[in-house]
Structure formats: structure tokens, C-alpha cells
A and B are shown apart, each in its own frame.
Chain A
């Protein structure tokens, strides 16, 4: 089967575990604003491309990358420039 990005596209859920480890919140239920088009979405609704080198979470409206994360050798790198704002709700804090 020829595979293209359609098959490989995932939802925000795909990075839920990684983001929970980083942020201490279940980020899929948290809301963020797209710096590109202004749309607000729960991060679970983002379109995720989980490249082997890292993950890119894109706005379902305009396709802009809201969040880019890469990891290797015990370090994480985060690019959140595509997120105009992020709301973190205490209720979604993950038990530590």
C-alpha cells in the first residue's frame, strides 16, 4: 500500500503521554490559541505528525504548527512559537 501523510496523520492524543510527562498536565484537554489563524482548540483536536525525529502538532483550521517537540539523549526541545497562548486547568493536572 502506498503510504502518504494521510495514513500517518494522528490526533493530539498521540503525544498525550509525552506532553503529560513534560508539563504535568493532560495536555489533550487544555486549550490553546493558534498564533497563525487565532483558532482555539483543545490540544487533543490538533493534527499530529509523529515523525521519528519529533512530533509536530498542527492547527486543524489553518495547518500551522502550534507545537514542535523533539527528543534525544535525555533531552527535550520544544518550539511553542505557533501557540499564541495556552490555558492550563488545574483539573487536568496529572497526579505526580
Chain B
């Protein structure tokens, strides 16, 4: 069947010429914000919502919704890339920098990796370095409005320099480890790191 092409089929792709340079290899520009779901949308009550930073830290920390909102805010404006090939260019999120959270918890020297764990059971893993240095946020607003549940609200992780599956929705906490622990998609054939600029989509790429 190799080589068959459906006459006249183009698919739902939108990319202006000026956008092409901002797109990582194999991606197309999407004006919407597709909802991709791997399970029921968790419904989280803000009154009982907590975010924890735990594991290999000097002082495990937990924030309530009010407490995390009171931290110094940080915004992201830029592009996000999904491994399913859509990229959303020039979008914005607001929340708090993960650096702020890590400073409060004080990672131990041997901490090298992180598992982000979420309501509903989703997990994803990252090197600690990918969460530091202004590269990651915990966000609760998208384009000026509260982050909708289907996009990970009340709060999600945002790590825009990696494929969007690393930006875990319905975030419950970050656990620091001295070893790597593949998460939901990483243990199902997806790449451990997920750098869109190196097109690290699948295990073995």
C-alpha cells in the first residue's frame, strides 16, 4: 500500500510562510487548541487543591490554591508543540515559575530527575535541569482566562521547550528523584526527553 495518495486531500493544516521558521520539524501551525485526552477529566475542588514539591528536597513543601496565587507571578508567551504534530504559536499562560517552587523546597544535591504526578494518575518525567532556569511554570491561566478543565485546569505544568505531553495537566505535585522514572507516555514508546527541535517523538529517536 506504500505510496497511495488520496487525490485532493490536504488535511487540516494552516501555516503561513512567516510561521515556518518558528515550527520545529514535522509540525504545522494550529490556531485552535486541540483537546487530547487519555482518560476522564479530573474534577478538582479548589478548596482541597494542593500542589506539593517532595522527594529529594531539604524541605518538602505544599501550597494551597490561595498560597500559590500569592507567590510572585510569572508569565509565558510563546509557542507550544504537541507530538501529534500541531504547534500553537504565540499563545500565553500565567502562573508561577517552577524556579520559585524549587527554591522554597531546596532540592538536594543528588536530585537529578523529577516526576510530575497528577490528579487522574497521569505522570511524566523530566531531568531536573529542564525545570530550572526559567524554562518551566505551573500555570492556571491561558490567554487571560482561567485554565479550562479540559486543558488541565485548575493548574498544569508548562514546559514549552519540550513536547506538550511533558506539560502535565491536572498537576498535583513534583517529586524529585536521583534517577529517571518513565511516566505514562514514556513507558508506552514515547521519547524520554521529547525535544521538538530534535524531533524526539518516540523511544529510540
Contact = CB atoms under 8 A, between A and B. Distances in A.
* Chains A and B touch (C-beta atoms under 8 A apart): yes
A70 B182 CA distance: 15
A95 interface: no
Interface residues of B, number: 24
A63 B40 contact: yes
Secondary structure at the A interface, as helix, strand, loop or mixed, is strand
A76 B37 CA distance: 19
Interface of B is mostly: loop
Contact of A54 (B34, B38, B201, B205): B38
Interface string A76-95: 11010000000000000000
Contacts of A72: 189-190, 201-202
A23 to B, nearest CB: 17
A53 B40 contact: no
B31 interface: no
Contact of A4 (B34, B150, B189, B201): B150
Interface in A1-51: 2-6, 8-9, 49, 51
Nearest to B86: A52
Nearest to B189: A77
Interface string B159-172: 00000010000000
B39 A52 contact: no
A78 B37 CA distance: 18
9 contacts: A9-B40, A53-B36, A56-B39, A58-B39, A70-B188, A70-B190, A72-B201, A73-B205, A77-B203
